[in-house]
Each structure stands twice: as structure tokens, then as C-alpha cells.
Amino acid sequence: MMQRNAQLIGGPNNNNNNNAASSSSWFVGAPISRLYAIATVVFYVLFHSKSAHESMMMDSFRMLRASQYGNSSSEWHRYWSSKLTFGSTGELVMGGMLLTYLSRQFEREMGSRKFGVFLLVTTISAMMMEMAFVVGVSTLMEKSQGYRYQGPYAVLGALMYLFHRYTPRLHPRFFAILGFTFSEKSFYYFWFSQVVGYGGTSTILATALGVATGYIYILTNLHQTVDIPDAIAKPLASLGAHLSDPPPRMVAPSGRRAAAGAGGAGADALQRLMRNNLPPAQPPQRPAAAAPPAPPDPAAIEQLTSMGFDRQRVMDALQATNNNVERAADRLLSG
């Protein structure tokens, strides 16, 4: 349903450039995810350095007491301030890592513009739901606990719903326990359950609101109808260009693959000459017999399958493009 707009995260590996390419390209195509991750850490440090953690978190009983004394407006900020960052270091590390991983994945698939709308709609919808039921929930929960949490659990729940619905299982029998087989997605479900259960009932409810907003977002086709106005999107796109990493330099493979790549570069140069109406340097010669396609590169296969594409389709695309990762990805994205 959602159009995949994934971007490559690196080229073929090389002993001298592998680590540098991996570190510099992790946020390529995901400037909003980078900004979101940085903001989560900055707000965490700010809240704790100013001892503002308690005053910024969601606390239903404090909000109810303020409303009883006619001063409810002084606590309304908790609806949005509670979603800026996590409340503890453990939540920040575990929840922040999972949030960053999922947001980067779906920003690449949806595109930064639609992903920004998704974050905005999810957060606002979760706030409206909390406003609707916070009084009723608080009366059912114990006074010692109440409905209190801090963290972007609504966004995390919405992203996890997209992960469950749209991310394919690449290895259905990734591991087995007591005769039960599990895919590689089970690891993320376990990780998600650990983060969600960190704050007990409150964080579970907050995450459930996010799952509901993600479901409504897809069910009502908001991802196809809601968009940011161009007057706002263009300045943000310019900012995102500065936040996004440039694509890493492609390292030319050696041996047979290098020869195939050189042939492709020569063909592209000839096409440019023809477009510019420049005569070729030498008269055209009879083309030699085409060499058999090079076998798919294992590193390229792993790179493209990690983006959610079927392994057999990835191998076919790489063979058809002489192991050119960018052209293979374009071929897969185009159908």
C-alpha cells in the first residue's frame, strides 16, 4: 500500500572503507530520523539537568487535581511535553535505539515528506485520545500509580504496527526454541515488549494508543491524502538536505566485476557523446560477443535483502545490471 522509496545505504564493501562508509551512511535518506534521535537525547539531558522531569511527564492525578481547583490550563503542557523524550536512562537507550531503527526504515520507504506527516498525525491523534480518556482511566487505576509516563511511546507503537504489517519475514526459521520456530522479526517483537513494559500499565496504554493511530492512519488512507503544504515542505526539505549524509563513495569491485563495471561506464560515456551530437573518436566497430552475466555479489545481495526485497528478485536484478547496486535497487523499486 505504501510506496517504497528506499535509498541505498552503501556500496560494495572494501577493507579500507567498510567502517567509514557504514558510519557515514547510516542516516542517508532519513534526515527526519536523525533530527528526531538528536532531539530525544537533547531533551532528555535538558529535562534532567534542570530537574524538570516530574513537571514534564504525563501525570493524570496532578492534572485532575489542577482541574478540580480550576487551574487545569497549567497542566495541559503534559499532553505534549510527555512525548518529547524518555524518562530514564534505560528507556532512552533501549527505546531510543528501537525508535531510531524503525523511524529510519520507514522514512526511507515512505519518503521524508510523508514520514513527517506520519509523525505529526500520530502524535496529535495520541494526544486527542489521551484527552478523551485520561479522566476515566485515572479513576480506575491506583492512586499510587496513576497514568504517568514519559516517552514517545505513541510514535513507537505506530511504527511497530507498520513493522508488523509491512516488513516481510526474510528468514521464517531463523531460530528455534522447544520445537517452535521463529523468524528474525521475533527479535524486534521481544525488544519492543521489553521497552513497552518498562513503565508498566501506563506505557502499555500509551503504546496501545500509538498502535491504534497507526492502524487508523493506514485504514483511512491518510498516507495518500494528507500532505504538508509546499510553503512549509520546501524550507524543511532544504534543512533536511543539510542534515542528511551524502551517499558514500562507491568502491569499485575488483576482477571480473570491475571489468563489467568499466564496460557499463564506457556505454554511458558513448550515450553522452551521442546526446551532445559529438562524433565518436573512432569509427564504430562490430560489437564483440556479450560476456555471460557476472554472478551476484554476496555483499550486494545482503545489502538489498536487508531493505526488504525478496532474495531471488535481488539476485535476478543484480545479474541483469552487472552487480550495479544502485541500478538493481531502481529495478526492484520500479516493479
Q: Are residues 161 and 55 in the same domain?
A: yes
- Of the three residues 186, 218, 243, the one that is the final residue of a domain is 243
Please give the torsion angle defined by the CA atoms of residues 306, 311, 314 and 315, in that order, rounded to the nearest 10 degrees: 130
What's the average model confidence in pLDDT over 129-133?
Answer: 83
| 263 & 127 share domain | no
- Choose one of 217, 243, 269: the last residue of a domain: 243
Please report whether residue 72 resides in a domain.
yes
> In this structure, are 217 and 327 located in the same domain?
no
Mean pLDDT of the chain: 74
Residue 8 lies in a domain: no
Examine the domain organization and report whether 234 and 309 are in the same domain. Answer: no
Say whether both 122 and 194 belong to one domain.
Answer: yes
Distance between the two ends of the chain, CA-based, in angstroms? 14
Q: Which residue pairs, CB below 8 angstroms and at least 24 apart, start in 37-40? A: 37/96, 37/99, 37/100, 37/103, 39/84, 39/85, 40/84, 40/85, 40/86, 40/92, 40/96, 40/99, 40/152
What does the pLDDT look like over 94-110, one tens digit per residue? 999 999 999 999 998 88
Q: What CATH number does the domain containing 149 carry?
A: 1.20.1540.10
Q: How far is CA 51 from the centre of its chain?
A: 31
| pLDDT digit string, tens, across residues 175-233 | 888 888 888 899 999 999 999 998 888 899 999 999 999 999 888 887 677 776 666 66
**45 is a domain residue:** yes
Q: Are residues 219 and 268 in the same domain?
A: no
Supply the pLDDT for residue 287: 57
Structural domain includes residue 22: yes
Position 3 in a domain: no
User: By residue range, what is the domain housing residue 200?
Assistant: 18-243
Contact 222, 121 (CB under 8 A): yes
Is there a single domain that holds both residue 168 and residue 311? Answer: no
Q: Which of 20-34, 112-126, 141-155 has the lowest mean pLDDT?
A: 20-34
Residues 27 and 63 in one domain: yes
User: Which cell is 154 given?
Assistant: 505513541
Residue 6 maps to a domain:
no
If asked whether residues 36 and 93 sit together in one domain, one would say: yes
Give yes or no for residue 31 having a pLDDT over 50: yes
> Do 101 and 224 sit in the same domain of this protein?
yes
Residues 265 and 207 in one domain: no
3-state secondary structure of 331: helix
CATH number of domain containing 329: 1.10.8.10
Q: Are residues 35 and 111 in the same domain?
A: yes
Per-residue pLDDT, 145 = 61
- Indicate the number of domains in the chain: 2
**According to the model, what pLDDT value does residue 273 have?**
38
Whether pLDDT at 240 is above 80: no
Whether 126 maps to a domain, the answer reads: yes
The answer to the question of residue 56 being in a domain is yes
Most confident of 144-153, 165-174, 271-280, 297-306: 165-174
Does pLDDT of 325 surpass 60?
A: yes
